[in-house]
């Protein structure tokens, strides 16, 4: 019979989808059976002789070969259509299995053609795989290390706040974890050699940390005052004299430097000795045992505090927004007063206070940042007739 290519193509379209080897073989088998059956003679036709049948055998072979050729052409035509369908607007392709798996997510557009063709599906699949790889890299691989690092940091932070410092005194000072962490940070910023109680004053001073702090003291000490009628060497012998400390009349002290005049003076009245921690250590011990007053300069352990307190952020972080007792005055005079006993005494006005008496200063509360803002101004705003605030920590 005549091999009708369109008939074979319509038969292929009505058969199983051509998307894998198994389906192609089934379609090929089905089409071969149909073609072979069409080539067989009908029962009602005349039977031919043996010689005629033997002569017709080549015709059958040729017809079968022709049908096979036509079928191969149809298969190649569909294969070409499948490859071409990967472009925009193409038809059904070799992604049918992917379409079947992703029908619930993307619909059956891969079979119908259009935007959901094999190319777009492959693009979405690659995008999904890339996002999955990024997710695994970030969440599954990277995240555990970040979590572990954060956990280790939190543990170290907690331990640093719970462990006491080496210079802590039992029953004295702040033992909170926040203060210990702050001190740990400042101690790392201003390193110090491990202190040993057996050290001599010379050994304490012979360190890089102490030399660094002495340089800071040179910057902080703007001027050096000269004592009036007092010599720090002759008036400060190894053991204190009976008339020590030396006294002066109050009138002379005020005449030399009036409290309302803030301009520095070159000479001042000073009646107590000033000792260097390293050079005058023996004198310090002698005057201490004699219970006499004196001034000590450059004590290594005191300079540690001076260095820390001169850090611009330390006191702000230490005191934070906690309110402390502050004494407020309308001028630079902070007169001492205490009306506790007078209030308890009976009087004409119900207590022992004088009529119309008012305290010379006012007790208020302020945070350190509030006080610092008022104190950190130029001298013209801190004149004797301007308001003053006396910030107290105890």
pLDDT interval class at 140 (50, 70, 90): low
Compute the chain's Rg from CA coordinates: 51
pLDDT interval class at 379 (50, 70, 90): confident
Lowest mean pLDDT among 22-36, 67-81, 331-345, 349-363: 22-36
Q: Average of pLDDT values for 56-80?
A: 53
**pLDDT for 287:** 97
**For residues 156, 159, 161 and 163, what is the CA-based torsion angle, rounded to 10 degrees?**
-140
Strands 362-367 and 273-276: unpaired
Lowest mean pLDDT among 50-59, 201-210, 216-225, 328-337: 50-59
Spell out the residues 6+ positions from residue 39 whose beta carbon is closer than 8 angstroms to its own. Answer: 1, 60, 63, 64, 67
Structure tokens at 243: 């008339």
Prior bond of 245 cis (ω within 30°): yes
For 81-121, what is each residue's pLDDT tens digit? 444 444 444 444 444 444 444 444 444 444 444 445 556 66
**pLDDT for 275:** 97
Q: Which has more pLDDT, 155 or 174?
A: 174
DSSP lists the bridge partners of residue 365 as: 325
Mean pLDDT of the chain: 74
Question: Is the Cβ–Cβ distance between 36 and 60 less than 8 Å?
Answer: no
Spell out the residues 6+ positions from residue 93 whose beta carbon is closer than 8 angstroms to its own. Answer: 82, 83, 85, 86, 110, 117, 118
Distance of CA 102 to the CA centre of its chain: 43
Lowest mean pLDDT among 50-59, 194-203, 259-268, 340-349: 50-59
Could you report how far apart the first and last alpha carbons of the chain are, in Å? 118
Structure tokens at 373: 């803002």
**pLDDT for 356:** 82
Q: Give dist(CA 343, CA 350) in Å, integer.
A: 9
Neighbours of 27 (CB within 10 A): 20
Question: Is the Cβ–Cβ distance between 116 and 96 less than 8 Å?
Answer: no
pTM of the model: 0.56
Distance of CA 387 to the CA centre of its chain: 42
Q: Is 9 helix (H, G, I), strand (E, B) or coil?
A: helix
Neighbours of 302 (CB within 10 A): 13
Neighbours of 83 (CB within 10 A): 13
**pLDDT for 136:** 61
Q: Give dist(CA 374, CA 382) in Å, integer.
A: 9
Q: Average of pLDDT values for 62-73?
A: 57
**pLDDT for 131:** 67
For 145-160, what is each residue's pLDDT tens digit? 676 777 776 666 666 6
Spell out the residues 6+ positions from residue 127 whose beta carbon is closer than 8 angstroms to its own. Answer: none
Question: Is the Cβ–Cβ distance between 181 and 165 less than 8 Å?
Answer: no
For 77-89, what is each residue's pLDDT tens digit? 444 444 444 444 4
Structure tokens at 361: 């200063």
Considering only CA atoms, which of 210, 194, 377 is closest in space to residue 278? 210
Considering only CA atoms, which of 234, 232, 227, 236 is closest in space to residue 269? 227
For 212-256, what is each residue's pLDDT tens digit? 999 999 999 988 899 999 999 999 999 999 999 999 999 999 999
pLDDT interval class at 363 (50, 70, 90): very high
Cβ contacts of 366-369, under 8 Å, gap ≥ 24 = 366/323, 366/324, 366/326, 366/391, 367/319, 367/320, 367/321, 367/322, 367/323, 367/324, 368/315, 368/316, 368/319, 368/320, 368/322, 368/324, 369/316, 369/321
């Amino acid at each position: 019979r005549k091999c009708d290519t369109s008939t074979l193509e319509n038969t292929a379209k009505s058969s199983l989808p051509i998307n894998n080897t198994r389906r192609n073989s089934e379609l090929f088998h089905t089409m071969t059976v149909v073609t072979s059956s069409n080539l067989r003679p009908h029962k009602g036709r005349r039977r031919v002789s043996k010689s005629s049948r033997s002569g017709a055998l080549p015709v059958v072979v040729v017809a079968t070969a022709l049908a096979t050729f036509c079928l191969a052409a149809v298969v190649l035509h569909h294969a070409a259509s499948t490859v071409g369908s990967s472009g925009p607007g193409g038809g059904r392709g070799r992604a049918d299995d992917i379409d079947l798996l992703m029908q619930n997510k993307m619909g059956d557009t891969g079979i119908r053609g259009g935007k959901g063709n094999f190319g777009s599906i492959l693009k979405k699949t690659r995008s999904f795989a890339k996002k999955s790889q990024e997710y695994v890299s970030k969440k599954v691989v990277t995240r555990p290390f970040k979590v572990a690092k954060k956990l280790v940091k939190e543990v170290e932070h907690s331990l640093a706040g719970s462990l006491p410092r080496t210079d802590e005194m039992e029953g004295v000072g702040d033992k909170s974890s926040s203060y210990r962490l702050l001190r740990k940070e400042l101690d790392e910023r201003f390193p110090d050699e491990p202190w040993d109680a057996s050290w001599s004053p010379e050994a304490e001073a012979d360190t890089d940390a102490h030399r660094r702090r002495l340089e800071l003291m040179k910057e902080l000490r703007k001027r050096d005052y000269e004592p009036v009628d007092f010599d720090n060497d002759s008036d400060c012998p190894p053991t204190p004299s009976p008339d020590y400390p030396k006294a002066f009349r109050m009138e002379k002290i005020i005449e030399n430097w009036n409290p309302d005049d803030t301009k520095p003076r070159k000479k001042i009245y000073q009646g107590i000795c000033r000792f260097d921690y390293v050079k005058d250590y023996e004198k310090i011990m002698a005057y201490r045992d004699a219970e006499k007053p004196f001034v000590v300069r450059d004590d290594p352990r005191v300079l540690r505090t001076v260095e820390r307190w001169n850090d611009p952020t330390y006191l702000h972080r230490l005191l934070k927004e906690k309110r402390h007792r502050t004494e407020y005055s309308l001028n630079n005079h902070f007169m001492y007063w205490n009306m506790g006993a007078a209030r308890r005494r009976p009087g004409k006005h119900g207590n022992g206070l004088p009529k119309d008496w008012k305290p010379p200063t006012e007790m208020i509360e302020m945070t350190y940042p509030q006080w610092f803002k008022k104190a950190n101004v130029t001298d013209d705003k801190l004149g004797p007739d301007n308001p003053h605030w006396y910030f107290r920590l105890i």
